């Protein structure tokens, strides 16, 4: 009788042990799939005020595990989606796409955008400046590796964005655009 009850107790013990192991493994998977607060850092992206006179910063949480390239892509994606608050305006026309983004070893970032000239028709000089510096400030102030930014259109150097501001050069951070 002892051996039969011993076997039953042993089997129950094994079943409980196996079930608790499965439950623990499921909990670990759930913990890994949910980003914890510790894995986020708070950065800033820049959008235009409603009057289109200056840039305003918006706090945005990004995964701290992203390398510079992927963080840059996330920042650009956020800018192209536009602000999530009513009191700010997007600096880039709806439908602007990111063709490519890369950072050189010497701290130069290249942003290649896909947009049609017709999307830029309503941009004046101030709107162009805000659009350029929304990208430049958002990248340079969040990614220490980036020192300056060059914007390309359809993979090519563009003389200007919409006829006002020169795009032939690299741009550095400009906090005078931020109020």
The string of pLDDT tens digits covering residues 142-155 is: 999 999 999 999 99
42 in the same domain as 4: no
Structural domain containing residue 25: 1-34
Question: Which residue's structure tokens are 């909990």?
Answer: 27
122 in the same domain as 66: yes
128 in the same domain as 52: yes
The Cα 99–Cα 117 span in angstroms is 16
Number of domains comprising the chain: 2
Residue 66: DSSP 8-state: -
87 in the same domain as 146: yes
55 in the same domain as 23: no
162 in the same domain as 74: yes
pLDDT digit string, tens, across residues 115-141:
876 666 778 889 999 999 999 999 999
78 in the same domain as 6: no
pLDDT digit string, tens, across residues 76-113:
999 999 999 999 999 998 899 999 999 999 999 999 99
In this predicted structure, what is the pLDDT of residue 9?
A: 67
11 pLDDT band, cuts 50/70/90, is low
pLDDT above 50 for 173: yes
pTM (2 d.p.): 0.77
Long-range contacts of 102-108 (CB under 8 A, 24+ apart): 102/69, 103/68, 103/69, 103/72, 103/143, 103/145, 103/146, 106/147, 107/145, 107/146, 107/147, 107/148, 108/146, 108/147, 108/148, 108/149, 108/150, 108/170
Query: Mean pLDDT across the chain, nearest whole number?
Result: 84
Percentage of the chain modeled with pLDDT above 90: 61
Q: Are the CB atoms for 107 and 148 separated by under 8 Å?
A: yes
53 in the same domain as 25: no
Q: Are strands 108-114 and 148-153 parallel, antiparallel or unpaired?
A: parallel
71 in the same domain as 114: yes
2 pLDDT band, cuts 50/70/90, is low
26 in the same domain as 106: no
101 in the same domain as 20: no
Q: Which residues contact 89 (CB under 8 A, 6 or more apart)?
A: 47, 48, 49, 50, 52, 82, 83
């Amino acid at each position: 009788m002892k051996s039969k009850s011993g076997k039953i107790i042993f089997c129950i013990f094994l079943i409980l042990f196996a079930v608790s192991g499965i439950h623990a493994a499921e909990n670990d998977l759930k913990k890994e799939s949910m980003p914890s607060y510790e894995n986020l850092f708070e950065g800033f992206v820049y959008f235009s005020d409603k009057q289109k006179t200056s840039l305003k910063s918006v706090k945005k949480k990004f995964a701290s595990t992203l390398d510079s390239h992927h963080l840059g892509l996330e920042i650009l994606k956020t800018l192209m989606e536009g602000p999530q608050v009513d009191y700010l305006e997007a600096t880039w026309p709806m439908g602007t796409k990111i063709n490519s983004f890369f950072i050189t070893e010497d701290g130069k970032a290249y942003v290649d955008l896909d947009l049609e000239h017709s999307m830029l028709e309503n941009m004046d000089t101030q709107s162009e400046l805000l659009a350029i510096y929304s990208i430049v400030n958002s990248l340079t102030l969040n990614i220490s590796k980036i020192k300056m930014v060059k914007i390309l259109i359809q993979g090519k150097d563009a003389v200007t964005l919409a006829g006002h501001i020169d795009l032939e050069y690299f741009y550095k951070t400009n906090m005078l655009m931020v109020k």
